[in-house]
Amino acid sequence: MTFARALAYVHAMSDNIPILSGLSDIAQRYDALLCDVWGVVHNGREVFDGVAAALTAFRKERGPVLLLTNAPRPSSVIPAQLDRLGLPAAAYDGVVTSGDATRAELSARAPGPAFHLGPDRDDALFEGTGLERAALDTARFIICTGLWDDETETPEDYRAFFNDALAKGLPLLCANPDIIVKRGDKTIYCAGALAAFYTELGGQSLYVGKPHDPIYNLAYERLAQIVGRKVEKSKVLAIGDGMGTDIAGANGQDVDVLFIGGGIHGAEAQSDDGALDGERLNAFFAAEGRTAIGALPRLVW
């Protein structure tokens, strides 16, 4: 559907996505949160104003907050990173990462061997999995956690490398399906962009993070551990800014989702002054065939 057709469709819709004043507008409907991190909680450099207060208030008044992120690292390393960025431990109950889901997949594929495509900072992902890492010539598959240098590189820089991998018939396991994120004011590419490019070139790419089932299955298990019982999906609210990951994942799981419009899709959902534009917002969702229970420019209580 073109944007113009989607815009025309919006005028006929009776269930437009409401723009809320804060999370408190709908919090009473839910017993647990699955909250995205990068783009909702922080921008890679600092925590957004109001986020800590909103998450802390939900925990106090409603129930647990589980941070659900496509970070290609074990969840055990995330709290220290959040602490450095300024998110207090009182704002959440736990973390589930794409890295957690990836580790389970790597353990199942061990000993491999596998070629690691990504920065050294992701090495903790492999600890305890039994997976052996090897050069491309002897690897059975590629495990991609990101670009080697996401400050300067783009997927196109990997064309020659991917052509070599294609010649060897290697599948690519993507540990972070995100395409892009904002680091401060700068847009950087993630592992998902490389996986999409590899698929475009004719390769096979496999995913474990949002919007795919493995990470959500881990999240439901973790919520049950925190609460001491199964939390029904109808009582879970997801929060996210990524249409292809957070929104698509929640829609696929039949979980209500709150869209944060000030993230990576600001150009599609906001007016020039940074406020959410209802007409643009609904046209964007209609064009993508997605839905949300509400929208906020940023997460506040």
Average pLDDT over residues 115-143: 96
The pLDDT > 90 percentage for the chain reads: 87
Q: What pLDDT, on the 0 to 100 scale, is given for residue 14?
A: 38
pLDDT at 10 over 50: no
How large is the greatest C-alpha to C-alpha distance in the chain, in angstroms? 57
- Please give the pLDDT value at position 55: 98
Directed axis angle between helix 213-227 and helix 98-109, to 10°? 110
Of residues 246 and 264, the one with the higher pLDDT is 246
DSSP state of 29: G
**Cβ burial 31-47 (10 Å sphere, 16+ → b, else e):** bbbbbbbbbbbbbeeeb
What are 290's two structure tokens?
């997605």
**Cα separations in angstroms, 65 against 54, 101, 225:** 10, 19, 13
Is residue 208 predicted with pLDDT exceeding 80? yes
**Which of 254, 247, 237 minimizes the C-alpha distance to 281?**
247
144 is written with which tokens? 């991609």
How far CA 202 is from CA of 144, 153, 170, 176, 193, in Å, comes to 16, 21, 11, 20, 14
Residue at token pair 């906020």? 296
CA distance 117 to 274: 36
Beta strand extents in 41-88 (DSSP E only)? 65-69
Return the half-sphere exposure (C-beta side, CA atoms, 13 A cut-off) of residue 229.
7
Question: Which pLDDT band, with edges at 50, 70 and 90, does 182 fall under?
Answer: confident
Beta-carbon contacts of 86 under 8 Å, excluding residues fewer than 6 positions away, are: 42, 46, 47, 52
Tell me how far the alpha carbon of residue 180 is from its chain's centroid: 10
Q: Compute how many other C-beta atoms are within 10 angstroms of the C-beta atom of residue 28.
A: 8
Each residue's pLDDT tens digit, 222-237:
999 999 999 999 999 9
CA distance 167 to 172: 13
State the helix-helix crossing angle for 3-12 and 278-288, rounded to 10 degrees. 110
**What is d(CA 241, CA 150) in angstroms, rounded to the nearest whole number?**
21
Joined tokens for residue 300: 């506040």
User: In terms of C-beta density within 10 A (0-12 exposed, 13-18 middle, 19 or more buried), how is residue 202 classed?
Assistant: exposed
- Which amino acid makes up residue 58? F
Amino acid present at 254: D
Q: Within 10 Å of residue 76's Cβ, how many Cβ atoms?
A: 12
Residue 11 confidence class, pLDDT cut points 50, 70, 90: very low
* Helix-, strand-, coil-residue percentages of the chain, each rounded to 5: 45, 20, 40
Cβ-proximal residues to 199 (8 Å cutoff; 6+ apart), any chain = 205
At residue 65, φ and ψ (nearest 5 deg) are -115, 120
For 54-88, write each residue's pLDDT tens digit: 999 999 999 999 999 999 999 999 999 999 999 99
Q: Assess whether pLDDT exceeds 80 at residue 218.
A: yes
pLDDT value at residue 8: 39
Query: What confidence score (pLDDT) does residue 15 get?
Result: 63
- Arithmetic mean of pLDDT, 36-54: 95
Confidence of residue 165 (pLDDT cuts 50, 70, 90): very high
Stated pTM of the model: 0.86
